[in-house]
Amino acid sequence: MTLDYDGIAAMLRGGAALVRENQDLLSRLDSVGGDGDHGATMTRAMGCLEAVITADTTRDIKSLLHAVGWAILGVDGGAVGPLLGGFFMAMAPAAQGKTTLDAAELATVFEAGLAGVLKQTKARPGDKTMVDALQPAVDALRSAADAAATVHDALERAADAAEQGAKSTEGLQARFGRAKNIKEQSIGSPDAGATSISLLFRGFSRSVG
Amino acid sequence: MTLDYDGIAAMLRGGAALVRENQDLLSRLDSVGGDGDHGATMTRAMGCLEAVITADTTRDIKSLLHAVGWAILGVDGGAVGPLLGGFFMAMAPAAQGKTTLDAAELATVFEAGLAGVLKQTKARPGDKTMVDALQPAVDALRSAADAAATVHDALERAADAAEQGAKSTEGLQARFGRAKNIKEQSIGSPDAGATSISLLFRGFSRSVG
Amino acid sequence: MAMKKLINQPEALVSELLEGFAIAHEKKVRMEGSNLVVRAHPKATDKVALVTLGGSGHEPALSGFVGEGMLDISVPGEIFAAPGPPRVLEALRKANRDAGTLFVVLNHAGDVLSANLAMDMAKTEGLKVESVLTHEDISGGPRNEPEERRGLVGCLPVIKVAGAAAEMGKSLEECKAIAERMESNMATLALAVSGATHPSTGGVIAEIPDDIMVVGMGQHGEAGGGTQSLKSADETTDIMLTALIDDLTLKSGDNVLVLINGVGSTTLMELYIVLRRVKQGLAEKNITLARSLVGQYLTVQEMGGFQLCIARMDEELLALWDAPCDSPALTVK
Amino acid sequence: MAMKKLINQPEALVSELLEGFAIAHEKKVRMEGSNLVVRAHPKATDKVALVTLGGSGHEPALSGFVGEGMLDISVPGEIFAAPGPPRVLEALRKANRDAGTLFVVLNHAGDVLSANLAMDMAKTEGLKVESVLTHEDISGGPRNEPEERRGLVGCLPVIKVAGAAAEMGKSLEECKAIAERMESNMATLALAVSGATHPSTGGVIAEIPDDIMVVGMGQHGEAGGGTQSLKSADETTDIMLTALIDDLTLKSGDNVLVLINGVGSTTLMELYIVLRRVKQGLAEKNITLARSLVGQYLTVQEMGGFQLCIARMDEELLALWDAPCDSPALTVK
Ligand SMILES: Nc1ncnc2c1ncn2[C@@H]1O[C@H](COP(=O)(O)OP(=O)(O)O)[C@@H](O)[C@H]1O
Ligand SMILES: Nc1ncnc2c1ncn2[C@@H]1O[C@H](COP(=O)(O)OP(=O)(O)O)[C@@H](O)[C@H]1O
Ligand SMILES: [Mg+2]
Ligand SMILES: [Mg+2]
Ligand SMILES: [Mg+2]
Ligand SMILES: [Mg+2]
């Protein structure tokens, strides 16, 4: 089983929907050490994503990912705009020439996205940022693909890993983003950005047959 | 019985002392419709008055009154500085050449002071200002002097009249000063400046034998 | 309301703040005599001098208006209290010159009493002084009862245009006429949304419930409605603007200056939003917003709210408003 | 904490405030493209351009620094949120010139991410851009870990001196070197005494108990002691000044610029009292307060407190600081 243009579009929409449903939770988490706007910013980012999909007439996966990334970059939203926008932008070149993606190809595309994020930030797993969810999710996707899982199963394992990664941030002290300013006080509640990523991947997996 | 330089000085000190004892009350009354500083301002004014008496070496009643008035004018204190300072300044010329004052002469001097105040402000009895205490006090002083009262008795009747005048302001609506801005809401508590005048005259009468 | 102010002994408040003020603006002002604020570079003595007086605690007003093209001397009083006549007289003596002195007085009981006493003394001494009284707060009473109207931030345009006229070498009579024309063509209304604490007594200045605002502060509100439920920026602006347009009987084709003066904790962000609406409201009536000024010029400690001042301008007043000036609170190149 | 702000729909906040901002300062700035704030009278294109980006809600910063002798373009974001790279790239393209563009970035995660992405894209397109990062908040970490230090009001002196250098026709390399020299010679510490509300969400920004103050806002306070009991102006100033002098290793004979930036409801009165004490504290160590600036330049809504920024100055930096400029927030004649 592979994902074509419509499959990718559905996957993205599914992720966006679940993130939006959790806007209040995300803002609440961000208000512990941040400025409480993460839910609003993610909602705006996901709105852009949906609008781009609706407007896109290219039927080309690479173009779609690029357009989604550029639109999210354009969301005035602090840290998350460039990180998440950069994530999708970086995925695009890896989808060059592809009309469908199997699990391995999907992993390759996501790995390119992750690499784009890691080029932008020095945050690594353990620093209590979205990377704590994103890195394990992409790793799990690759492992599942290597183990010949279906696209659906691979995305489900990625979502599980993202969820676990997000949960693990609860015990961590923030070393990046605004929350790092409150030091130890950031311990005890999960990172907002990591939670977003976890919700995004769960939404991806649920909407892929 | 007459008041000489020392008698006038004692009278002024007596008034100042009683006003100072009531600083908090005066501020409280001023905070109803004013800015709550009347107690502080009167305390500063009375401090100046005492300092001038201590420093004065003229042994001349006119000079003393002029110096007291000028010093009180110098108190940065909103309405009360010019009014009360002007009161004492205006008294001075009326004491020209006098080494002692009997009740009638005292009434003349106070009348000159009142005239100075009334030249400065358009407020008249009934407008809920210090004039509500000052005008009846001076009138009572004159009546008592006309009726051949002693200086002490004349000042006591003046103090009684000032007290009644101050009390009467409770039912009035302020038409001058900051309190006029709250209109009907000024009704129900006596005017701060009128209360000061009442205390001042009570202190005068108590310290005159 | 807890007082969380960075102060030391309340008694030293004014002298300490003036000390810092003089340090901060040493190129423009300095202290002389009994804490009089004077220009660091005095104006030529053949030009009319401008003097004012007023309580402290309203920074940058009024001493922040001392400088080139504005005031020559300001006499700062204690917190919210007019300075006494001796210091005012000292200022008038210091300003004294053949060209004469224009004395700008805001209509508040203490200021007026002190100013009048000092003026009388100055005139007795033969000094050439004329005064202009500002009273543009429309919530105090109707236009034909000017004594009931307080002087609010409108002192700034009066000082600005009269100061520019003086700098140009106009006579005392001309400067006075300009100041009075400015004064009689302006109207101000104050909004308060939250109170403040008195920095020396710690007492509360205006306690305003959470869902309440007051248009025409300290008033029952013939103009603007007084105490009422909190409204949006646009609704609030509309209420205030309507009252001011009425008071000034502004007509289609008029050119106005709009001054939005934040009194404390209300942000510049909000003041800009209000200005935007003022412009819209004026445009609806075909009135031109010819000039505007937005910021904190005359504050009431950390009180929340602003004063909206509208002034009908003519060509000369506009030119004087645009003239260069250089004071701590306002610099025009 | 009840929100008593004069706003309309939270969604429209930024566009409405920019609309008012542009009206208020129409002689100095105007809006172009995707809400970019540009100079009304553009600088000659053979001179280096200065560009910055940053969240809104800090008025007058950062767009208030656009004008003659200061910034050419500011890219305002949403409330407290950096603008995304597309609008930043648009600004860099608009500024583009042979002389090059100096891009001033404050060290905050969102700003840096957005700036870097836009810079990369601009360079890919062949634009001549150099950037300087401001990070002078000493409460973030030690001097040798600059990435941990946030950019606070120190952006203003950096923009001022680099802007003056650009106006004089200095090259991009020279402007950058000047900006970096200014940057590495300054240190800032923030004090918060009371919190604020987020204008779009209504959420609380920093809840500070009545008897508490926080030195090094949002920090545990290696420098300055962090959360502690409320102190007098002089005690508080001493704590902050000591930490800044230590960080900068200021020595007897040094000349410094002192910038006291009110962040919201703290009055100018208080800021002057603090400046007075700073001057005393410097004098005790034989350090000269060569220049000072006191006022609200980078605010955090109605938060109470201030940022104290000290900068070691040399002759050239002082001359650039004194050079004329004309922006909404700062005019030097
Ligand atoms: N430098 C960074 N590197 C990686 N992730 C970051 C960084 N800064 C912030 N984040 C992520 O962004 C989230 C906050 O996003 P958001 O609230 O939208 O932005 P902001 O902090 O600018 O308001 C954090 O929870 C964290 O996961
Ligand atoms: N115009 C006036 N005429 C007469 N008395 C006045 C006038 N204005 C104020 N007062 C008196 O002054 C008192 C207030 O004095 P004070 O609080 O010291 O001055 P301020 O109102 O300037 O703070 C009032 O209670 C009133 O008696
Ligand atoms: Mg956030
Ligand atoms: Mg009073
Ligand atoms: Mg007073
Ligand atoms: Mg944010």
| 3-state class (DSSP) for residue B122 | coil
| 3-state class (DSSP) for residue D103 | strand
Q: How confident is the model at residue D222 (pLDDT cuts 50, 70, 90)?
A: very low
CB-based burial label for A126 (10 Å; 0-12, 13-18, 19+): middle
Q: Are C151 and C132 in contact (CB under 8 A)?
A: no
pLDDT in tens, C91-141: 999 999 999 999 999 998 889 989 999 999 999 999 999 999 999 999 988
Contact A178 D109 (CB under 8 A): yes
Contact A35 D87 (CB under 8 A): no
Is the ipTM of this structure higher than 0.95? no
* Dist. CA D49–CA C69, nearest whole Å: 33
Cα C61 to chain centroid, rounded? 7
**Ligand 2 center–CA B80 separation, angstroms:** 5
* Dist. CA B108–CA B119, nearest whole Å: 16
The torsion angles phi and psi of B64, rounded to 5 degrees, stand at -60, -50
Mean pLDDT of chain D: 95
| Cα angle D68, D70, D73; round to 5 | 95
**Ligand 2 center–CA B91 separation, angstroms:** 20
* Dist. CA C207–CA C197, nearest whole Å: 9
With CA atoms as reference, report the closest residue to D2 among D213, D202, D299. D202
Residue of D nearest to A116 (CA): D117
What does DSSP say about strands C304-312 and C186-194: parallel, antiparallel, or unpaired? Answer: antiparallel
Question: Is chain A in touch with chain D: ≥3 Cβ pairs within 8 A?
Answer: yes
Residue of D nearest to C231 (CA): D6
H/E stretch holding A46 reads helix A38-55
CB-based burial label for B175 (10 Å; 0-12, 13-18, 19+): middle
| Mean pLDDT of the C185-211 span | 91
Instruction: Kindly state the tokens that stand for C216.
Output: 């025409």
Minimum-distance CB partner of D109 among A37, A176, A183: A176
Nearest ligand, measured from the Cα of A123:
1
Task: Establish if B47 touches chain C: CB-CB under 8 angstroms.
Answer: no
Higher pLDDT pick, C302 / B35: C302
User: Does A193 sit in the ligand 1 pocket, CB within 6 Å?
Assistant: yes
Mean pLDDT of chain B: 95
For ligand 1, pick from A127, A169, A170, A176 the residue to mutate: most ligand atoms within 8 Å of CB: A176
The b/e string for A14-53 (b: 16+ C-beta within 10 A; e otherwise) is bbbebbbebbebbbbbbbbbbbbbbbbbbbbbbebbbebb
Q: Are D51 and D75 in contact (CB under 8 A)?
A: yes
Higher pLDDT pick, C121 / D206: C121
* Dist. CA C257–CA C252, nearest whole Å: 15
Contact D205 A81 (CB under 8 A): no
Strand partners, D29: D39
* Dist. CA D174–CA D179, nearest whole Å: 9
Contact B76 C83 (CB under 8 A): yes
Higher pLDDT pick, C299 / C146: C299
pLDDT reading at D42 higher than 80: yes
Q: How many CB atoms lie within 10 A of CB C229?
A: 10
Q: How many CB atoms lie within 10 A of CB D7?
A: 20
pLDDT reading at B77 higher than 80: no
Cα C298 to chain centroid, rounded? 6
| 3-state class (DSSP) for residue A36 | coil
Task: Establish if A36 touches chain D: CB-CB under 8 angstroms.
Answer: yes
The torsion angles phi and psi of A91, rounded to 5 degrees, stand at -70, -35
Architecture of domain C12-184+323-332: 3-Layer(aba) Sandwich (3.40)
Q: How confident is the model at residue C219 (pLDDT cuts 50, 70, 90)?
A: very low
DSSP per residue over D133-179, as a string?
A: EE--BTTSS-TT-GGGSPP-TTHHHHHHHHHHHHHTT--HHHHHHHH
Residue-level pLDDT at C224: 65
Nearest ligand, measured from the Cα of A78:
1
Task: Establish if A41 touches chain D: CB-CB under 8 angstroms.
Answer: yes
Q: What is the pLDDT along chain A (209 residues), one digit of tens a residue?
A: 899 999 999 999 999 999 999 999 999 999 888 888 899 999 999 999 999 999 999 999 999 999 999 999 988 877 888 999 999 999 999 999 999 999 999 999 999 999 999 999 999 999 999 999 999 999 999 999 999 999 999 999 999 999 999 999 999 999 888 888 777 888 999 999 999 999 999 999 999 97
pLDDT reading at C1 higher than 70: no
How many B×C Cβ pairs under 8 Å? Answer: 97
Residues of C in CB contact (< 8 Å) with B are 14, 55, 77-87, 108-110, 113-114, 116-117, 140, 148, 150, 198, 200-201, 203, 205, 218-220
Contact B81 C205 (CB under 8 A): no
Residue-level pLDDT at C223: 58
Q: How far is D191 from chain A (nearest CA, A)?
A: 14
Q: How many CB atoms lie within 10 A of CB D255?
A: 18
Higher pLDDT pick, B123 / A180: B123
- Write down the domain spans for chain D: 12-184+323-332, 186-321
Residue of A nearest to D115 (CA): A82
For residue B27, give the amino acid letter: S
pLDDT in tens, A95-135: 999 999 999 999 999 999 999 999 999 999 999 999 999 99
What does DSSP say about strands D212-215 and D186-194: parallel, antiparallel, or unpaired? Answer: antiparallel
| Cα angle A191, A194, A195; round to 5 | 85
Taking every pair of Cα atoms in chain D, the longest distance, rounded to a whole number of angstroms, is: 56
* Dist. CA C307–CA B21, nearest whole Å: 39
Residues of D in CB contact (< 8 Å) with A are 55, 77-87, 108-110, 113-114, 116-117, 140, 150, 198, 200-201, 203, 205, 218-220
Which chain D residues have a beta carbon less than 8 Å from that of A77? 78, 81-82, 84, 110
pTM over 0.95: no
For residue D316, give the amino acid letter: E
pLDDT in tens, D98-123: 999 999 999 988 899 899 999 999 99
pLDDT reading at C221 higher than 70: no
Count, residues in chain B: 209
Report whether CATH 3.30.1330.40 matches the domain B3-207: no
3-state secondary structure chain C: CCCCCCCCCHHHHHHHHHHHHHHHCCCCEEEECCCEEEECCCCCCCCCEEEEEEEECCCCCCHHHECECCECEEEEEEECCCCCHHHHHHHHHHHCCCCCEEEEEECCHHHHHHHHHHHHHHHHCCCCEEEEEECCECCCCCCCCHHHCCCCCCHHHHHHHHHHHHHCCCCHHHHHHHHHHHHHCEEEEEEEEECEECCCCCCEECCCCCCEEEECCCCCCCCCCEEEECCCHHHHHHHHHHHHHHHHCCCCCCEEEEEEEECCCCCHHHHHHHHHHHHHHHHHCCCEEEEEEEECCCCECECEEEEEEEEECCHHHHHHHHCCEECCCCEEC
β strands within chain A, DSSP E: 3-4, 100-101
Instruction: Kindly state the tokens that stand for B158.
Output: 């003046």
Q: Of all protein residues, whose CA lies closest to atom 13 belonging to ligand 1?
A: A193
Residue-level pLDDT at A38: 94
Atom of ligand 2 nearest to the CA of C108: 22
For residue A72, give the amino acid letter: I
Task: Establish if D285 touches chain C: CB-CB under 8 angstroms.
Answer: no
Minimum-distance CB partner of C57 among D16, D269, D331: D269
Alpha helices by DSSP H, chain D? 13-24, 85-95, 109-124, 155-167, 172-184, 233-248, 268-284, 315-322
Contact map slice: A 125-164 vs D, CB within 8 A = none
Mean pLDDT of chain C: 95
**Ligand 1 center–CA A181 separation, angstroms:** 12
Q: Are D104 and D155 in contact (CB under 8 A)?
A: yes
The conformation of residue B182, written as its DSSP 8-state character, comes to G
Residue of B nearest to C114 (CA): B82
What is the phi-psi region of residue D254: left when phi exceeds 0, alpha when psi lies from -120 to 50, beta otherwise?
beta
The torsion angles phi and psi of B163, rounded to 5 degrees, stand at -65, -45
Contact C84 B74 (CB under 8 A): yes
- Write down the domain spans for chain B: 3-207
* Dist. CA A46–CA B127, nearest whole Å: 67
User: Does A159 sit in the ligand 1 pocket, CB within 6 Å?
Assistant: no
Strand partners, D38: D30, D73
Residues of D carrying an active site annotation: 58, 220
For ligand 1, pick from A80, A117, A135 the residue to mutate: most ligand atoms within 8 Å of CB: A80
| 3-state class (DSSP) for residue B39 | helix
Cα A191 to chain centroid, rounded? 14
pLDDT in tens, B18-47: 999 999 999 999 988 888 889 999 999 999
Residues 6+ apart with CB under 8 A from B73: B81, B82, B85, B86, B89, C84, C85, C86, C114, C117
Higher pLDDT pick, C146 / D103: D103
Minimum-distance CB partner of A79 among D85, D86, D110: D110
Q: Hey, of D34, D53, D80, D88, which one would you mutate to test binding to chain A, going by the most A CBs within 10 A of its CB?
A: D80
Question: Is chain B in touch with chain D: ≥3 Cβ pairs within 8 A?
Answer: no
Contact map slice: C 188-247 vs D, CB within 8 A = 193-194, 199, 210-211, 213, 230, 232-234, 236-237
Q: How many CB atoms lie within 10 A of CB B188?
A: 11
Q: Are D266 and C6 in contact (CB under 8 A)?
A: yes
Instruction: Kindly state the tokens that stand for C207.
Output: 């306690």
Instruction: Kindly state the tokens that stand for B44.
Output: 């500063």
Architecture of domain C186-321: 2-Layer Sandwich (3.30)
| Mean pLDDT of the D122-134 span | 97
pLDDT in tens, C160-179: 999 999 999 999 999 999 99
* Dist. CA D274–CA A173, nearest whole Å: 35
Residue identified by tokens 């005031």 is C71
Q: Of all protein residues, whose CA lies closest to atom 8 belonging to ligand 1?
A: A177
Residue-level pLDDT at B186: 85
* Dist. CA C67–CA C329, nearest whole Å: 9
Cα D186 to chain centroid, rounded? 12
With CA atoms as reference, report the closest residue to A146 among A204, A103, A188. A103
Q: How confident is the model at residue D221 (pLDDT cuts 50, 70, 90)?
A: very low
With CA atoms as reference, report the closest residue to C36 among C50, C18, C49, C20. C18
| 3-state class (DSSP) for residue D56 | strand
**Cα distances (Å, whole numbers) of residue D124 to A117, D106, D120, D121, D128:** 19, 23, 6, 5, 10
Which chain D residues have a beta carbon less than 8 Å from that of A184? 220
Q: Which residues line ligand 2 (CB under 6 A)?
A: B 30, 34-35, 37-38, 41, 77-80, 83, 121, 123, 129-131, 176-178, 191-194; C 81, 109-110
